Amino acid sequence: MPHNTDAVGKRYDPVVYAVGREKVKEYALAVGETNPLHLDVAAARAAGHADVVAPPMFAVVYQSPSVMPALFDPEVGIDFAMLVHSAQEFRWERLVVAGEELTTATTVAAISEKGGMGFFDFEVETVDAAGKPVATGIWKMIVRGEA
């Protein structure tokens, strides 16, 4: 199935995510974190942080609300029944703590086709309240071809 590449370069409106203390703890517990920086406000403060520290992979949580609309965009044209998350990359500039507001924007970085499969790469950039970079994610999806 040919994939339309017109959406390459499309940038979606930024999405604001407010990092909550209980959300950070919930996420940290779900992935098995044991470091008290993620779970215990007092321990985080004793280490010089304003509040509990989000594990680096919490980037999934604050970037997802920006990525999802791009995945569902009819102009991108992903067939969800055939969707596979094939690869993921994150680059972190600094730690995030509860209480921050982060702003994330997604761009369609690449769409290509090979062997009947579609390859969709999304570049996702998160900045803090001062506009300084916090994290970059590259979300790579494959849409399997129909038999």
Output DSSP code: residue 38. G
Assign 128 to helix, strand or coil: coil
Q: Which of residues 15-74 bind another protein (CB under 8 A)?
A: 23, 26-27, 29-33, 35, 37-38, 53, 55-57, 60-61, 64-65
**Minimum Å distance from CB 108 to another protein?**
19
Report how many residues bind another protein under the rule CB under 8 A. Answer: 32
Which of 14/20 has CB closer to another protein? 20
**Minimum Å distance from CB 146 to another protein?**
14
Output DSSP code: residue 11. B
Output DSSP code: residue 131. S
Which of 7/95 has CB closer to another protein? 95
**Minimum Å distance from CB 86 to another protein?**
6
Task: Tell me how far apart the alpha carbons of residues 142 and 82 are, in angstroms, rounded to a whole number.
Answer: 8
**Minimum Å distance from CB 60 to another protein?**
5
Task: Tell me how far apart the alpha carbons of residues 122 and 108 are, in angstroms, rounded to a whole number.
Answer: 5
H or E segment at 106? strand 101-114
Interaction of residue 94 with another protein, rule CB under 8 A: yes
Task: Tell me how far apart the alpha carbons of residues 83 and 78 are, in angstroms, rounded to a whole number.
Answer: 7
Output DSSP code: residue 31. T
Query: What does the binding site for another protein look like in residue numbers (CB under 8 A)?
Result: 23, 26-27, 29-33, 35, 37-38, 53, 55-57, 60-61, 64-65, 81, 84-92, 94-95, 138
